[in-house]
Structure 1
Amino acid sequence: MWKWTDPDNIKAIILDADSLDEAYLSFPYNQYIPEVQLFFVKDINNMNDKEIEIMGYYDTTTLLQDILIRSKCDSTSIISISNNPIFLKEMMQNHIGTILTCILAKDLLRNTPDFTDCTINSLPKILKGELYGYGAEVYATYGHGFPSMSLLKCKSQILLNDGTEREAIVFMGGRYYSEKHRYLLNDPLSYEVLNFKRNYTDSVDLFFDSVISFIRNYKAIDVLTYIPLKPKDINEKKYDRFRNLKLVNSSQNGIKLQQVLGFNKDFSQKGNDLYVRKEIVKGAFNVLSDIKGKNIIIIDDVYSTGSTIEEAIKTLYENGANKVFAVLLAVNQMTESNIEYHNLICRECGKEMKLKMNKNGKLFFGCSAYKQHKAISTTIDLEQGLNLLKDKNKLEVTNVRDLEDEY
């Protein structure tokens, strides 16, 4: 889904001429968004004298300021298309909508654009608002899914103890902003990821159930399992989120969630770098039942570095699994911004408004004292609140002095 963009009001498209092929540069964008303005941009160091229709730029910040002035529209009406995830990372940092035309590499998942793996055939659906975005984000926002949703997909090779390699296919439902991230209080999926750790969450259940069905449409699955609680968590009687999933459709179609893996040891991945995470999790799992020759789906909540889920996949393969698919609710994000972030403010008491959930599982925005505000209703429904946040945090035109003028 669009993080910063109003999909019904797109007025300008930035096309990265450094990375896009001719099919995207010559695409008839006006056919799908009438009168949309196109800005073909290129790093000034890669330009030649003949490219008079290309906007050259030294840095993204100055480029966007120039485009805001030329287009005469808000940043919420501007999107960018590129085959370069680093270019789009800079766009995201400036609160610009992003479309990546290739599959996102594993080491770049923590800076995930609004849409990835966009082909020429899928581009019209995105431009017309017919492709809603990543499935878990859609479920968290609307409480239900749509036929036109997408998944983040990551492929990697797992090295087994005998030196052979097996393929790991991981599907992710969207982006998660951790507790230290400035977007956390205002991101529906992030809120539901945290809520899922403590309570049954209907939209999470529906997401997993839909992806399991999606995989089973093209691959026969024998076992559906999950990452279990660690021994310490069991001793502390922590909420076992996966055991409480209903997965109604999967159950009705002959496959039920079961525990296949157990933990050999306790460990924590918080605060560790990639190398330490991989070392800590080695040998952490054991297999509780016969899985030889079986196709398996394993589910978990958040993908950070992939160390835990990859060790789980490795353990399953080492014990004879034929094919393993992993489904994760979200992938942890690192993209931050230098733009000052503004939360919604309660008009009654002036306190910040945060995402909350009512007894029916519906998200809304409210301050800490919203129940005490009897005179007027001070809560804001989710969709309206997200639109207000986009407007409050749009990129503004600023007076940027060209430092070269000082010399």
Structure 2
Amino acid sequence: MNLYLQAYCLICHDRLQPDTSWKAIFSAEKEILICPTCENKFEKITGEKCRICSRLFRDLDERFRFDDLCHDCVRWEEDLEWQGYLDSNHSLFLYNDFFKEVMAKYKFRGDYVLAKLFAERIADSLRLLNPDLLVPIPLSCKRLYERGFNQAEALILEAGLSPANLLTRKHLEKQSKKSRTERIHIPQVFQVNRQLEIKGTEIILIDDIYTTGSTLRHAAKLLKEEGAKRIRSLTLAR
């Protein structure tokens, strides 16, 4: 353990206080990236949740819950155009105000190092899901140029894993500017890289945020039509 190297929280930039206990001195050192105050602002998704999208039922009016599904997922699954394409989404955190600000720094202000915050949780989750392929949701060439990196691919790389770039993306208006209805009814935004084998594979799509599920379902639909056996997704926030 290095007791003298001064480190700073990657989010608030306050100084990090080293752990000088005997346990810390004689155990393998784990890199500390954020302060306890910032760490406590991340709200982990725990408790009863929607079987498909990970929406917490405690935050949902009972009128919009149908057994183990939320109203939104029932609507998706009742639509024959989208039924059965996305098997499930697994999200790690709630998209609260704090997480929104962290994502703004990560995605829109180019703070790539923030991907390291989630590396361990991503790796642990993927070990449990055990997919054949990890497919990051791609950016269009224009959006990639603006941001400098693909935030979904960075999460895979920082977790020490290899992305399978099966998809490319056409450039359209930002999804954040669209309503739920507009997101659902946009034309297919993805294309498949047919140089990679897809048939019979179990795929995990990686993205930063699950909002309406439209982006993930567009990707899942295309990959299942190309022969993928099962499509799940892992996102940082819901």
Please classify the TM superposition score into its range, dividing by the shorter chain length. Answer: 0.5 to 0.7
1:206-237 alpha-carbon deviations (Å, 9 max, x no partner): 22111111212xxxx21111111123213435
Say which one has the larger Rg.
1
TM-score, normalised by the number of residues in structure 2: 0.61
- Write the distance in 2 (CA, Å) between the matches of 1:111 and 1:273: 23
1:170-221, Cα deviation, whole Å (9 max, x unpaired): 11111113xxxxxx2xx3x3343333322222122222111111212xxxx2
Distance, in Å, in 2 between the alignment partners of 1:101 and 1:239 is: 33
Distance in 2 (CA, whole Å) between partners of 1:267 and 1:158 is: 27
Which residue in 1 is equivalent to 2:224? 317
Q: Identity over the aligned pairs, expressed in percent?
A: 23
4+ runs deviating over 4 angstroms? 99-102, 105-108, 158-161
Q: Counterpart in 1 of 2:18?
A: none
Q: In the alignment, what sits opposite 1:208?
A: 122
1:121 match: none
User: Greater helix share, 1 or 2?
Assistant: 2
Question: CA separation in 2, counterparts of 1:314 and 1:158?
Answer: 15
Kindly provide the CA deviation profile for residues 51-77 of structure 1, in whole angstroms up to 9, marking residues without a partner as x: xxxxxxxxxxxxxxxxxxxxxxxxxxx
In 1, the alpha carbon distance for the partners of 2:104 and 2:147 equals: 17
Quick check: 2:141–2:171 contact (8 Å CA) kept in 1? Answer: yes
Pairing 1:208-357 to 2, within 5 Å after superposition: 208-216=122-130, 221-236=131-146, 238-244=148-154, 245-248=157-160, 251=161, 256-280=162-186, 282-288=187-193, 289-331=196-238
Question: Helix, strand or coil: the match of 1:300?
Answer: strand
Q: Does 1:171 align with 2:90?
A: yes
User: CA 1:113/1:174 → structure 2, altered by over 3 Å: closer, same or farther?
Assistant: farther
In 2: Cα distance, 1:100 partner to 1:215 partner: 17
- How many residue pairs match? The answer is 173
CA RMSD of aligned residues (A): 3.4
Shift of 1:112: 5.9
Deviations 1:327-381 (A, max 9, x none): 01001xxxxxxxxxxxxxxxxxxxxxxxxxxxxxxxxxxxxxxxxxxxxxxxxxx
Larger RCO (CA under 8 A, 6+ residues apart):
2
Q: How does 1:129-140 map to 2 (within 5 A)?
A: none
Could you give the per-residue CA deviations for residues 28-51 of structure 1, whole angstroms, max 9, x where no partner exists?
xxxxxxxxxxxxxxxxxxxxxxxx
Uncovered stretches (5+) of structure 2, i.e. residues with no partner? 1-44, 61-72
How far apart, CA to CA, are the structure 2 residues paired with 1:100 and 1:241?
Answer: 24
* AA at the equivalent of 1:258: A
| CA displacement, residues 221-271 of structure 1 (integer Å, 9 cap, x when unaligned) | 2111111112321343533223333212xx4xxxx2121111134232223
Alpha-carbon distance between aligned partners in 1 of 2:204 and 2:117, rounded to the nearest angstrom: 19
Measure the CA separation in 2 of the matches of 1:195 and 1:112: 29
Matched-pair contact (CA < 8 Å) for 1:158–1:310: no
Q: One-letter code of the match for 1:257? A: P
Distance 1:158 1:209 in 2: 33
* 1: CA distance, partners of 2:53 / 2:204: 23
Q: Distance in 2 between matches of 1:311 and 1:110?
A: 23
CA distance 1:211–1:231, shift in 2 (3 Å): same
> Is there any run of 5+ residues in structure 1 with no aligned partner, and where?
1-98, 115-153, 178-183, 332-407
